[in-house]
């Protein structure tokens, strides 16, 4: 979940690494630091808090040098303090390390090293690495890393610099993502592609069990055992504009606004006239009669809608599992099962572990990811690209709607393969998909004034309940997650039918209750829920059809959205004002919408 960066080349490393950390801070922002090599020593600068505090320190105490490593931290072991910030060094200060992951046996290693005389400064697991290296180092950094690597248990990617090798960066990966970038006479290192821009024009993904040595303009790669591996670089297709805010005040605002464009891109990739193109999954789906979705967080909410789509259209039995739970039980594996792993980053640790568990049981795995070169994508039998473009804001918005839309297309494809729908039914469903990007754009604009008014009214509220039924139950869960993630309001989503089974006790005249109530098969049931809240003087925010005067008449405020021709797709529209509502409430409470406290974008540790 932390972010690693490295640079060696003709430019001052400090300035390059600061830009890289700025593009990695969505992975963690509890503290930041860097180690720069000059011709005589390793110079360390680090600070607790946001990146700007490190920038202020560097402006007062700049470091010069053309080779260095850097880190932005999401705290796992030890509080987010300066002393726990990376880089960490050995006692002599001649070896510095930055690390992403968790060294699970660090306490055992720490005790052994302390018994041998090592002095520790921090509470982190990372600090065992430079101390282990110092214990065995005799002048060959690569040999030292190879000597200690088998002692490290857990998931890790780390970069090290050695004082007596000023033009080298040494790297190891086991379980946590790490990329090497190459530019003109310069090499870079990063946890994600945006941090390689604009200096690198091509990159490679280090694999588990690999070491790398970076020097100016070149990289040598080998396995942990020393077997030489030929580097295979790919062109970076991302540009700087795609990872900048542009004219928006935040990445979240930009990414919400990009949703019509993203959904149109998915349409164009999957539709050819009146034909839904087949995804190249490399799997014969005709024998599939059971689908298991594996996901976490927002992706889990999308999977709940995926279940609804598949059961309705393809008439297939579907389970939705939380990845962190699936991996720790012994799931029943049977013939005809397909696992679909959903992850925006493609690096979610629990989803990756669950994928590997499924594959160990010889279950075919298809992944839905936004990063095609991610670990989950590379380990899947087939991949469905999300096509959402870089999502930098920690709270997912455009990736969620892209996942839902892509899952609907997948359900249609599976329904056709299974012979569950005919040509006329397929055309009707495709006709329902085509207007969605435009409906999304208009719905965002249509609801904005009401959303602003509701945010002004309810920003002081410290709790909010979200209610939905059928396909809008996942919308309630996702709306609640967005609000709690970025505004720190205690928010809970419930199925409307469960409201009387306990949660209704929460209703008071000061409690906002968000009721998602489009004119669908559950409309009358949701109206009954709203009346129950009104009877107890709860404050009602409704989400529903723009022309529904009845709903507007019984709600304190109603967020209007347009109507989808296909009821299954209505949740794509219902979630939009809830994204904007969370955004405005967070701004009203002076919260950082892009970097909410305690969170990181990509959960790469357990």
Domains and CATH numbers, the chain: 3-243 (3.60.20.10), 248-434 (3.40.50.10490), 442-606 (3.40.50.10490)
Contact (Cβ atoms closer than 8 angstroms) between residue 388 and residue 370: yes
Q: Tell me the two tokens of residue 238.
A: 């991302």
Largest CA distance in the chain: 79
| Structure confidence at residue 87 (pLDDT) | 96
Residue position matching structure tokens 């962190």 = 324
Provide the 3-class DSSP secondary structure of residue 492. Answer: strand
Q: Tell me the two tokens of residue 394.
A: 């920690």
Half-sphere exposure of 111 (CA within 13 A, CB side): 3
Q: Pick from 36, 38, 33: which is nearest to 88 by CA?
A: 33
Listed in sequence order, the DSSP H helices in 343-471 are: 349-360, 375-379, 398-417, 423-433, 436-458
Cβ-based neighbours of 506, under 8 Å, separated by 6 or more: 463, 465
Q: What are the percentages of helix, strand and coil residues in the chain, rounded to 5?
A: 40, 25, 35
42-48, strands of its sheet edge to edge: 42-48, 31-37, 67-73, 3-8, 186-190, 179-183, 202-205, 234-235
- Structure letter (DSSP) for residue 457: H
Q: What is the CA radius of gyration of the chain?
A: 25
Let me know how many helices (H) and strands (E) the chain has, helices first. Answer: 18, 27
Residue 98: asked if its preceding bond is cis (omega within 30°), the reply is no
Exposure b/e, 224-245, CB count within 10 A at least 16 = b: beeeeeeeeeeebeeeeeebbe
Between the CA of residue 392 and those of 100, 273, 314, 499, what are the distances in Å?
19, 33, 34, 35
Q: Pick from 29, 33, 87: which is nearest to 58 by CA?
A: 33
Burial of 277 (0-12, 13-18, 19+ CB in 10 A): exposed
Which H or E element spans position 16?
helix 13-24
| Structure confidence at residue 330 (pLDDT) | 83
Residues of the chain with pLDDT under 50: none
| Structure confidence at residue 605 (pLDDT) | 62
Q: Pick from 149, 392, 369: which is nearest to 279 by CA?
A: 369
Exposure b/e, 279-307, CB count within 10 A at least 16 = b: bebebebeebebbbbbbbbbbbbbbbbbb
367 vs 378: CA distance, rounded Å: 9
Within a 10 A sphere around the Cβ of 503, how many other Cβ atoms? 16
Q: Tell me the two tokens of residue 214.
A: 């970076």
Q: What is the pTM of this model?
A: 0.87
Contact (Cβ atoms closer than 8 angstroms) between residue 377 and residue 386: no
| Structure confidence at residue 602 (pLDDT) | 67
Contact (Cβ atoms closer than 8 angstroms) between residue 491 and residue 465: yes
232 vs 234: CA distance, rounded Å: 7
Provide the 3-class DSSP secondary structure of residue 548. Answer: coil
Where in the sequence numbering do the catalytic residues fall? 2, 601
Contact (Cβ atoms closer than 8 angstroms) between residue 109 and residue 25: no
């Amino acid at each position: 979940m932390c972010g690693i960066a490295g640079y060696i080349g003709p430019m001052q490393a400090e300035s390059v690494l600061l830009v890289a950390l700025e593009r990695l801070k969505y992975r963690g922002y509890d503290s930041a630091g860097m180690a720069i090599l000059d011709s005589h020593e390793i110079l360390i600068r680090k600070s607790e808090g946001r990146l700007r505090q490190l920038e202020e320190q560097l402006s007062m105490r700049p470091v010069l040098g053309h080779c260095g490593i850097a880190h932005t931290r999401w705290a796992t072991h030890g509080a987010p303090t300066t002393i726990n910030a990376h880089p960490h060094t050995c006692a002599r200060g001649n070896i510095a390390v930055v690390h992403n992951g968790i060294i699970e046996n660090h306490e055992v290693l720490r005790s052994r090293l302390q018994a041998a005389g090592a002095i520790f400064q921090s509470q982190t697991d990372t600090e065992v690495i430079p101390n282990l290296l110092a214990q065995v180092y005799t002048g060959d950094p690569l040999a030292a890393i190879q000597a200690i690597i088998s002692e490290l248990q857990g998931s890790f990617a780390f970069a090290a610099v050695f004082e007596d090798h000023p033009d080298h960066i040494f790297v190891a990966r086991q379980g946590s993502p790490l990329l090497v970038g190459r530019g003109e006479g310069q090499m870079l290192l990063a946890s994600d592609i945006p941090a390689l821009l604009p200096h690198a024009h091509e990159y490679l993904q280090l694999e588990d069990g690999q070491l790398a040595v970076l020097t100016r303009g070149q990289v040598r790669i080998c396995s942990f055992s020393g077997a030489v591996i030929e580097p295979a670089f790919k062109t970076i297709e991302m540009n700087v504009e795609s990872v900048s805010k542009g004219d928006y005040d935040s990445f979240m605002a930009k990414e919400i606004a990009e949703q019509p464009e993203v959904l149109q891109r998915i349409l164009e990739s999957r539709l050819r006239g009146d034909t839904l193109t087949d995804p190249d999954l490399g799997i014969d789906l005709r024998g599939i009669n059971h689908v298991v979705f594996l996901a976490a967080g927002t992706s889990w909410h999308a999977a709940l809608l995926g279940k609804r789509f598949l059961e309705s259209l393809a008439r297939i039995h579907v389970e939705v599992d939380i990845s962190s739970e699936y991996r720790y039980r012994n799931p029943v594996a049977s013939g005809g099962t397909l696992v679909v792993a959903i992850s925006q980053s493609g690096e979610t640790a629990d989803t990756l572990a669950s994928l590997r568990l499924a594959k160990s049981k010889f279950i075919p795995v298809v992944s839905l990811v936004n990063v095609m070169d991610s670990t989950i994508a590379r380990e899947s039998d087939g991949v469905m690209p999300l096509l959402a473009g870089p999502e930098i804001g920690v709270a997912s918005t455009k990736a969620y709607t892209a996942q839902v839309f892509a899952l609907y297309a997948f359900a249609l494809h599976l329904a056709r393969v299974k012979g569950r729908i005919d040509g006329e039914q397929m055309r009707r469903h495709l006709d329902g998909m085509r207007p969605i990007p435009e409906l999304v754009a208009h719905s965002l604009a249509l609801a904005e004034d009401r959303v602003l008014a509701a945010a002004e009214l309810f920003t002081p509220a410290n709790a909010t309940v979200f209610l939905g039924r059928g396909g809008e139950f996942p919308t309630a869960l996702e709306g609640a997650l967005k609000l709690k993630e970025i505004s720190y309001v205690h928010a809970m989503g419930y199925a409307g039918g469960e409201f009387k089974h306990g949660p209704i006790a929460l209703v008071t005249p000061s409690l906002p209750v968000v009721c998602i109530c489009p004119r669908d098969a559950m409309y009358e049931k949701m109206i009954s829920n709203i009346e129950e809240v009104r009877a107890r003087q709860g404050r009602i925010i409704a989400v529903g059809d723009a022309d529904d005067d009845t709903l507007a008449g019984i709600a304190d405020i109603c967020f209007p959205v347009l109507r989808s021709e296909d009821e299954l797709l209505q949740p794509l529209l219902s979630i939009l004002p809830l994204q904007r509502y969370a955004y405005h409430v967070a701004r009203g409470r002076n919260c950082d919408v892009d970097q909410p406290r305690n969170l990181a974008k990509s959960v790469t540790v357990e």
